[in-house]
Amino acid sequence: MAYQSFEELEVWQLARKFSVAIYRELDHCRDYHFRNQITDAANSISNNIAEGSERLHRSEFIQFLGYSKGSAGETRNQLYLAEDLGYIPTERAVQLRADARLVGGKLYALIRSLGGGA
């Protein structure tokens, strides 16, 4: 896979937009601990893509992409809690979980293209 920087990666672009969407959706949330937890998880997706892409070895990049995929799952789980607690309307939670699954799927595809995964 040829790219000059992580900013060119579609999955990083999607993860960045997803993180912003999480922030905007929970901007009103007064449960600061929860809000910090879910935004940290969402931010971790794009952060790990960026950090891994700057590593010197492909195996390290694959490892960091795995961390990103895990963070996408963590964020998806947090979205269930946000819905259950009434912090996010059901329709919006469903859409954000679908976005998280999309990012996770693209991460898996990238991992496979780099020779990682099962």
Question: What domains appear along the chain, each with residue ranges and CATH number?
Answer: 32-113 (1.20.1440.60)
CB under 8 Å to 12, separation ≥6 — which residues?
6, 46, 49, 50, 53
- Give the Cα separation of 69 and 63 in Å (integer): 10
pLDDT of residue 117: 74
| pTM exceeds cut of 0.85 | yes
Instruction: State residue 4's pLDDT score.
Output: 81
Name which of 81, 50, 93 is nearest 68 in CA terms. Answer: 50
Q: Which residues of the chain have pLDDT under 50?
A: none
- Tens-digit pLDDT profile for residues 71-87: 999 999 999 999 999 99
